[in-house]
Structure 1
């Protein structure tokens, strides 16, 4: 069987049996985190420009934007998917180097609203989107991630699988939806190396592409089912011709959705191990940022590539600045939304500490990527002490997971300023009730 057919067979079989309760629980955790990411993203310039541009597709249709405005399913997926990635707070699956939630859940929700699906149908779609897209990302591997933004490329498959599940596509049509999604995949890393405003559009476009692929497949549109492994297919065109033979080997036994990373800081996740390591040294040895003579960060290559800014000039660049995020954490104790406000961006103490930070590739740390996201932090204090710490994982990784209560707190922190605490708590209750409730979260 071709890879698209393997996934379609799994989706068909999954639609006929109950999912494990643990899997559903992790899907609910992913949905909570998606909403926590969505609401702060609404205020980002990219989302506001997008919503104004798509005015003709709003105030009509059977789907809705985050704050309740009617929209066509494709427009809702595009705008909500963009918003869920815009604040850099969304989940990731390490081995696929990919943020699956932004596009997958946006597409699942838009399709579920349009078809009046149940809460359980919605959760099943989320699970299928994660399981399919993360496996494609794993096969495409690090060669793909060198140039491509996996949230845009792999996200198209997550969105197509999720929308196809909600729309109850038959086995052949589901495979066709994935094949169609393959030709929609896009998202270049260069687009956010110097200016990151357009980066969240990759997630939004992936969500829209997946919904469109499922809609087309439902009406009989066909594509080449060998589009992943064919000689001119995705694997050869956008990676190093990887082996697809085992892409579905663990479907239904190793549930990827149970091994997600949820962000404990706000910004580029490639900086988080260094942040956690620096804070760990500060906590154990009791020094302040003013006591630091110098600091060196040993990191893996994508940290150097994707968080390169040593003198960020705006909030977008600061979210992708290893120097800024580590220094801000040591000066202020954490990296929350407030870290990107103008006063904090120009904080003299943070800027001074940034000048005392250096970084380089650490071969041992790099060898563990993408399965582990580590950093080596070395600090020399003014009193002569030399401190070093290898941070093997980030808080929020499967090895150091956020609890249900942590995720609830994250949603309340990020959603309550937008919708109010009462509505944020009601949203949490609706998400936890999804397996037995016909009502969707929004």
Structure 2
């Protein structure tokens, strides 16, 4: 349910260009999912949605310029608000409505038109032999721990690294990308000199360059000693990002990037990737998802707990509660 709501709202009206963060829709999606889990009746479910909406708008400032820790918790905060909204509604609190089309409601304040919201959820997206209609079947999973629009650029850079071979010296790099990618991760000056981890993993030039140079994109590439390396910054002076109208027209069906590298020996190599690993049209295998999870979580929780989490998640549809899973994911308090 949460995926249905989140994805269909995003498709109905993008709010990024108007200065609002996409996690704003997350308050609605998590409120509805929570209301369903709490078995709220239609009346209280409506109040949960109203409460979520009236205080859930998130500013896009979280994702522009030099990025901060907040970028990583923005959706979690929206989710917390959605759950809290459902709890309040369950306790009997009412929320202001109509939250979407009201005189001072969501559509007017955020400058969007959702049309007939009910119709948005009546459109089927069923796939052959994959059960009932579900937006989750159209979603993608990032294979590398970096902003999603960079995934195809990473894949292209890793391919080119193999073509260059040992001893090849790269003089410059040009990345042709689609508008959303350029706007979000490839246009601001901070993306060429990342000062924070959050900026580095949302920098198309840095992510692509470090993939080419290091031959991998892992947590190591987002440590300060790596993304603030003077040699990397020097290389980034010769990295350009350009808009490509064809790639923009393909978005969001494809999340494409074209990477060109010019070598000191005069060669010019190019690689284009439209559907990166993890894209809905190029899905990851279960083992690949597990590999990514182990790489990111094992250093923090250890092998035994990481394996336990994986086992519990694969059996989640059989669970009667999530207490054991929540305990397995507990970590020490982190100081920022």
Structure-2-length-normalised TM-score: 0.84
Secondary structure class of the residue paired with 2:276: coil
Q: Distance in 2 between matches of 1:249 and 1:172?
A: 21
Which position in structure 2 is the counterpart of 1:375?
257
381, 384, 387: which one pairs with 2:269? Answer: 387
257, 275, 280: which one pairs with 2:136? Answer: 257
Matched, 1:364 2:254: no
1:156-190 CA-partner distances (Å, limit 9, x unpaired): 11211121122111122112211221112222222
Greater shift after overlay, 223-232 or 319-328? 223-232
Which position in structure 1 is the counterpart of 2:71?
199
109, 133, 141: which one pairs with 1:237? Answer: 109
Q: Is the 8 A contact 2:192 2:236 kept in 1?
A: yes
173, 179, 187: which one pairs with 1:301? Answer: 179
Q: CA deviation at 1:348?
A: 5.2
Secondary structure class of the residue paired with 1:389: strand
Q: Is the 8 A contact 1:227 1:234 kept in 2?
A: yes
1:35-82 CA-partner distances (Å, limit 9, x unpaired): xxxxxxxxxxxxxxxxxxxxxxxxxxxxxxxxxxxxxxxxxxxxxxxx
Q: Distance in 2 between matches of 1:146 and 1:280?
A: 37
91, 96, 99: which one pairs with 1:227? Answer: 99
**Runs of 5+ unmatched residues, structure 2:** 127-131, 327-336
Segments ≥4 residues shifted beyond 6 Å: none
Structure-1-length-normalised TM-score: 0.65
Q: Distance in 1 between matches of 2:232 and 2:166?
A: 12
Q: Distance in 2 between matches of 1:289 and 1:328?
A: 17
Which position in structure 1 is the counterpart of 2:312?
430
Q: CA deviation at 1:353?
A: 2.8
Q: Distance in 2 between matches of 1:219 and 1:342?
A: 46
Q: Which has the higher contact order (CA 8 A, sep 6+)?
A: 1
1:11-46 CA-partner distances (Å, limit 9, x unpaired): xxxxxxxxxxxxxxxxxxxxxxxxxxxxxxxxxxxx
Matched, 1:185 2:63: no
Q: CA deviation at 1:340?
A: 1.6
Which position in structure 1 is the counterpart of 2:330?
none
Greater shift after overlay, 328-337 or 360-369? 360-369
Which position in structure 2 is the counterpart of 1:330?
212
Q: CA deviation at 1:355?
A: 2.1
Matched, 1:417 2:261: no
Q: Distance in 2 between matches of 1:380 and 1:420?
A: 42
Q: CA deviation at 1:205?
A: 2.0
261, 283, 286: which one pairs with 1:401? Answer: 283
Secondary structure class of the residue paired with 1:176: helix
Q: 1:296 to 1:281 in 2, by over 3 A?
A: same
Q: Distance in 2 between matches of 1:288 and 1:148?
A: 46
Secondary structure class of the residue paired with 1:279: helix
Matched, 1:212 2:84: yes
Q: 1:144 to 1:324 in 2, by over 3 A?
A: closer
Which structure: greater helix fraction?
1
Secondary structure class of the residue paired with 1:150: coil
1:132-167 CA-partner distances (Å, limit 9, x unpaired): 2221221122x545422102x011112111211221
1:394-436 CA-partner distances (Å, limit 9, x unpaired): 2211112111111112222222222211121122112222222
Q: CA deviation at 1:330?
A: 0.7
Q: Is the 8 A contact 1:289 1:331 kept in 2?
A: no
Q: Distance in 2 between matches of 1:175 and 1:202?
A: 24
1:333-390 CA-partner distances (Å, limit 9, x unpaired): 1111111223322445533432221112111112223332111222222222222233
Matched, 1:160 2:160: no
Secondary structure class of the residue paired with 1:277: helix
Secondary structure class of the residue paired with 1:376: strand
1:83-117 CA-partner distances (Å, limit 9, x unpaired): xxxxxxxxxxxxxxxxxxxxxxxxxxxxxxxxxxx
1:239-272 CA-partner distances (Å, limit 9, x unpaired): 4324235211136842011222111111222222
Secondary structure class of the residue paired with 1:380: strand
Q: Is the 8 A contact 1:173 1:217 kept in 2?
A: yes
Secondary structure class of the residue paired with 1:415: helix
Greater shift after overlay, 153-162 or 239-248? 239-248
